[in-house]
Amino acid sequence: MASGPGPTQDIEFTLNGKPVSRTASSRMLLIHFLRDELGLRGPKIGCDTGHCGACTVSYNGKTIKSCMALAVQADGAEIDTVESLAGESGDLDELQESFRENHGLQCGYCTSGVLMSAKFLLERNEKPTAEEIREAIHGNLCRCTGYVNIVKAISGAAHGDEGLALVERLNREHAKEVSA
């Protein structure tokens, strides 16, 4: 459970490029620590079993679900959340901008987690196919968008202007495969 009585541990880690040193309750989940103790709003909570992905953050360069880690496991780690995307100026980064242009979000509740998964994908695969994008975000549930515009937004960020054309092309190929 979240917090409460019981043992604590001192932890030090890097959060969005800045050092953090705190005392954490040993039983506290990382997501609760980030939200309730450090006041972040980016990582969200949508389930109790690690299946929704709303809490996705980057942990030493890999995405993890922060509801599936304890706060004390942050000790010594580098953690990035969606708050790290927009620059110092507060301007949306390319990925975020592509989500805005392509209506890749509706209620916005899943968005922080989706963005972190998309970022992780694009760092490893600059030009992903639609199928690879779907694979990469399949741990992030979105109930509003039917995923169509999320895929389009990530494609748009990866392939620039070709992004949308790519989605269109995939549409056609799909249709062709069906008629083949």
| Minimum distance, C-beta of residue 34 to ligand FES, in the bound complex (Å) | 11
Pick the closer one to other proteins by CB: 76 or 169: 169
Q: Which partner in ligand FES, other proteins, none is near 178 (CB below 5 to 8 A by kind)? A: other proteins
Residue choice 22, 27, 51, 134 for contact with ligand FES (CB under 6 A): 51
| Minimum distance, C-beta of residue 120 to other proteins, in the bound complex (Å) | 15
Query: Which range, of 2-10, 51-59, 85-93, 168-176, touches ligand FES by CB under 6 A?
Result: 51-59
Query: Which range, of 93-101, 109-117, 128-136, 167-175, touches ligand FES by CB under 6 A?
Result: 109-117
| Residue 38 makes contact with ligand FES by CB under 6 A | no
Q: Where are the beta strands (DSSP E) in the chain?
A: 8-15, 18-25, 56-59, 62-65, 78-80
* Helices 111-124, 148-159: crossing angle, 10 deg rounding: 40
Pick the closer one to ligand FES by CB: 85 or 105: 105
| Residue 29 makes contact with ligand FES by CB under 6 A | no
| Residue 103 makes contact with ligand FES by CB under 6 A | no
Cα–Cα distance, 67 to 49 (Å, whole number):
8
Distances in Å between the Cα of 75 and the Cα atoms of 9, 45, 69, 113 are 9, 22, 11, 22
**Nearest CA-CA partner of 30 in 73, 93, 1:** 73
Residue choice 15, 25, 53, 96 for contact with ligand FES (CB under 6 A): 53
Cα–Cα distance, 77 to 119 (Å, whole number):
19
Phi first, then psi: what are they for 41, rounded to 5°? -110, -10
Residue 18 bridge partners (DSSP): 15
Tell me which residues touch ligand FES (CB under 6 A). Answer: 45-47, 50-55, 65, 67, 105-111, 142-145
